Amino acid sequence: MMTRQVLFLAVLLLSTAYAFIRGGQPERIGAATLLGGASLTVVAASPLGIRFRGVETGILFIDLSLLGIFLWLSIRSTRFWPIWIAAMLGAEVIIHIALMVAPDVVPRTYMHALALWSWMGQLVLVTATWRHRMRLTRLGADAPWKA
């Protein structure tokens, strides 16, 4: 289990660094948001003995905040990728709500269901940054914000 967490941390740091170094302003904002969300999640999670045994309210509020930021980014930026991450965060929020409705879910299942979308978000960020670089190469410019 700890190996997966270390691997996620490595992927998070590498994808964030890549977006900060090679991305445009929307990619940097997205990277900072994902890094901040992951960091706050560690702090907000319940203590180890009871973690994921009920709705992780702190993580739910973080996910709702991140959802708001990515919805804003998808409306204001010229990029399509923020709506993908917003959709993933929406899925995470639905997972929290589903646990409220059906509280007998195995804690490990709840944890893995939330974690899956975090991994996918990193993949979207890396792909978005790469595509930004391709647009810069092909067009010479990549406007970050809608007029």
Residue extents of the structural domains in the chain: 26-139
Q: In the prediction, which pLDDT does 144 show?
A: 98
Q: In the prediction, which pLDDT does 81 show?
A: 98
Q: In the prediction, which pLDDT does 129 show?
A: 98
Q: In the prediction, which pLDDT does 1 show?
A: 53
Which whole-number Å values give the CA distances from 46 to 12, 60, 125, 131, in the listed order? Answer: 22, 12, 28, 37
Chain centroid to Cα 68, Å, comes to 12
Q: In the prediction, which pLDDT does 142 show?
A: 97
Q: In the prediction, which pLDDT does 15 show?
A: 98
53 phi/psi in degrees, rounded to 5: -85, -10
- Angle, CA of 7, 10 and 13, to the nearest 5°: 150
pLDDT block averages, 10 residues each, the chain of length 147: 87 98 98 98 95 97 98 98 98 97 94 95 98 98 96
Map residue 127 onto helix, strand or coil.
Answer: helix
Q: In the prediction, which pLDDT does 104 show?
A: 94
Q: What is the mean pLDDT of the chain?
A: 96
Q: What is the pTM assigned to this prediction?
A: 0.95
Contact 73, 19 (CB under 8 A): no
Q: How far apart are CA 121 and CA 85, in angstroms?
A: 6
